Amino acid sequence: MVKYKTPVPNIEKKRVAAIYRPNITKTDSIPMDTLHHYWEVLREPDFFMEPTTDAGGLMTIETDQTHVMFFYDDCTVIYGNPKRGVAYAESSIRLMNQQPIAIDENGSFYPQNEVLNLQTWSITQNISNLLPRDYDINVPIP
């Protein structure tokens, strides 16, 4: 199962913004408790981050068949089956600069410094997977 957060529009803020316009709407025609509600709602963000488990929203395929992954905050993968004796584990990845990453057919991703592995993946990640794909030990570092 995959869990990550996705932006959801603040419908109540849109509704209040359509009804109440500061400095235009006559406040004496609106009850005071309603005005306080409007002021509170207008201070809320335009979008809320809602948790979702729809894995289909994580990946898009470009015209050149490159797979691109993007999400906000952390993407958590929960795996294991206690009924079969496979231990339950939870791992997460985080996009450091909130920019999409491209994944090729071998599973390599670019840019390499964009992804931070957390929880179980941070412990089990091999150093060979952290090297750039075109790394050559025989080429001297300038």
How do residues 38-68 score in pLDDT, each as one tens digit?
889 888 889 888 877 777 777 788 777 778 8
- Report pLDDT for 133: 59
| The pLDDT of residue 136 | 65
Helices (H), the chain: 11-19, 32-42, 120-124
pTM summary value: 0.56
- Which H/E stretch holds residue 103? strand 101-103
Counting as low any pLDDT under 50, the low residues of the chain are: 127-128
Give the model's pLDDT for residue 122: 61
